[in-house]
Structures are given as C-alpha cells and as structure tokens.
Amino acid sequence: MIQSAFKNRYAFDRSEVTLGNWRTRPYSSWSFQNVSEMVPSADMSTGITIEEETIEDLKPLLGRSVNVGVGQESVAEFLNRSNTDILLLMKSGQFVGEYVAPTADPAAPHIIFSISKSLTAILAGVLQDEGLLDPEQLVTRYIPEAAGTAYADATVQQVLDMRFSLDFVEAYLDPDSDFARYRRAMLWNPIRPEEGQESLREVILSLPRGEGPHGGPFRYYSPLSDLLGIIVERASGQRYADLFREKLWTPLRGHGRCNVTVDREGVARAAGGVSMTARDLARIGEMMRNGGMAGSRAIVSERWVRDTLRGGDKAAWKAGDFHTLLKDGSYRNKWYQSGLDNGAFMAIGIHGQWLYVDPSREVVIVRFSSQDLPADDALDQQTLRFFDFISKTI
C-alpha cells in the first residue's frame, strides 16, 4: 500500500532510487527532498519544528506572460520546463507567494547543493567577528597537515573568494574524473572497491596545484568550500553541524528540519550537502538583506555583510570561470554579486537551486529545482531574467 502510494505520486518505486542515480530525473524529484535516506547526514536543526504560516499560492501569477529570452510563455510554463519544485517569494520581510510542484513538499528539507558554500561562509564570518578566524592567515594556521600541499601558501580569504590555483575540473558527468573520485569520498557515489575508501579530507589534500599563483582569477573549485568547512571546525573547536546550529540556525529561528551530508569520518559536505526548507533559506536571504540581522538578533556583523556584497574583485571575476553568467559581476566570501543597478546578489547551486535577493525592491526569491542537468548556462540566464521579472511584478 505504501509503495503503491509512493508510485502514484512519483511514477516510480522507491526501490528504483539508488546511490548511482539519485541525482538524475525522475528520481531527483524525490531524492532531493530526502537526501538523508541516500547519504549519511548530520542533523543541524534544533529538533523542534515551528508551524509555518499559510502563504498564498501563486495561481494569479502563474498565467502571467513572461519572456526570458525564448519567446513568450506563461510563468507556469517556465516553472514546468525548468523542473521547479518550489518557488517562494518574500517582499519586505513577508512571504507573499509560493508555488509547490505536485511532487514537492514545502515542509521537507530540500538539498541546496552549492548554496551550502554561501552558508559555510557565513559561519566563517561569525568566527571572524568573534576573533576566532583571521581570513588573512594561511590555511596551515588552521589545518597544519596542509603543509606541503596545494594549499600550503594560500590564505583563508583566497579560499573564501575562490581565487585559487588548483589542478581540478568540476566534471559533473565524467565518472572517471577526479571530481567523481571526490564524490565517492563524500559518499555521494558508489564506492569503487579497487580504490579503497578515501575520506573527503584525504582527497581534498591530495589534489595537485595548478599553474600560476593563488590570488589570481576566480576559479570555481568545490573542494575549497569543503576545506573551509574543516577550517571553521578547527577554528571554533566544534563540529560543523553543532556550529551551524548554534551560530546560524538557532538565532535565525529556523522553523523546519535542516541537515548536512557527511563522509565516513563524519566530515560535513560544507560545499554542497546542506538541506533545508525554502522558507528557512529565504530567512537567510532576508538576514543578508538586512545587514546580518534576523529580526532583533544579530547573526553576523554588518561589516562582514557589507564586505561580502561590495568587496568582490571585478577584474578577477572577468578573468574567471563564470564571467558570462554575470557580465559585471563579482564574487566575495562565496556570494555572487550581480553588478546590476538594483544591487541584486545571490547564492547558486547545481540542478537549479537559487537564493536571489533584490535589495532595491526588498525582494527575496528561493527556487528549488530538480533540473536534469547539473549545469545549464542557457537556463541560468533565463532564470536571472525570470527573477528580475518576478521582482518587478510582486
């Protein structure tokens, strides 16, 4: 009976979802909301869920016509073709609309992939405010065993800004790449018996250095953000999950469940393993819009937020990996700055996860998706146009 109900909703059996296919459609429509059933995970929430307020659905908006660069279509058509699971809108600190796909549950923690990087950076900012972390120090100050590795002469700030020289390619779909080895170490992919079982830390520290010095162009290397997760643990003396719960989740007053995947040593996947609800992620966006304040509670300093939103090096961005995403953009402390007049900034994850903040209109948008491709440059551009349309409309 249970299996039948599951298949009625998802058009496949739970038994069909495996570690080898959980990030592919159609299985991702379920697994992205149930990652802790696929990968070992640490709970980061308080254990007490708070009932959410009722939010108006987006039916009046779904029929509106929008052109994101591929001709006129309705909002509903865009959401459907982009495999959107949830679209949540906040205006001036209030939730004003929510779209939920038939296979989605707004109360379920949805994986946010690389938006996790931006949240890990907030933890680094909190520790910086407390004098426990100095971003100008070398990585080896916090991870002594990094001596003699590609990270030995790099600063924590270079890790935060991804201005780094590493011989590594984010080859999401290549099963024989170093990226696939990295994913096996984080327990996201089936282990290859002939390789043994490496830990996430072992793989990160084994990656070779690239050409050129650290501090150059923006280079998107996910292992740097897992390294940052280890740095904040060492600097604070706390497990990532406990630090997250104490410094971010509790003062934010997160309402739902929140977890992070861990490897065989219990090391958190700080670069991409966090899951939470759309409403709680929107609360983080609103906190950033308000200079680090969540209501009357200061989570991170206004100084750190200002540096994050204004301190990015535009020349490093233009010479870097994602310059076509945001023509006049920049990147600082693992947050993207649009360079647009409205001051929009964002955090982005693969398979279509977005936290978009337009401070000029006091708008926060969260989009959770189960897009088929990990990266889709054309759809990313369309999504940015869609967010601008929504921000101007609500």
Beta carbons of 162 and 170 less than 8 angstroms apart = no
Catalytic pick from 114, 118, 222, 338? 114
Sign for the pseudo-dihedral over CA of 314, 320, 324, 325:
negative
Amino acid symbol at 26: P
Reading the block at residue 99, the tokens are: 């779209």
> Measured between alpha carbons, how far is 166 from 161 in angstroms, rounded to an integer?
14
Which residue matches tokens 């024989």?
176
Please state, as a whole number, how many other Cβ atoms lie within 10 Å of the Cβ of residue 22. Answer: 20
Classify the phi-psi angles of 302: left when phi > 0, otherwise alpha if psi is within -120 to 50, otherwise beta.
alpha
For 268, counting Cβ atoms within 10 Å of its Cβ (0-12 exposed, 13-18 middle, 19+ buried), the class is buried
For the record, the structure tokens of 309 come out as: 């939103």
Put the strands of the sheet holding 353-358 in their side by side order. Answer: 94-100, 84-91, 363-369, 353-358, 345-349, 335-337, 330-332
In whole angstroms, give the CA distance from residue 40 to residue 261. Answer: 6
- Please state whether beta strands 110-111 and 274-276 pair in parallel, antiparallel, or not at all (unpaired): antiparallel
Contact between 52 and 107 under an 8 Å Cβ cutoff? The reply is yes
Alpha-carbon distance of 95 to 106, in angstroms, equals: 13
The tokens for 204 are 């990160």
Tokens of 348: 């982005």
Pair of tokens at residue 135: 């971003």
Task: Give the residue from 104, 130, 117 showing the smallest Cα distance to 159.
Answer: 117
Residues with Cβ within 8 Å of residue 137, at least 6 apart in sequence: 155, 156
Q: Is 28 labeled as catalytic in the residue annotation?
A: no
Enzyme catalytic residues? 114
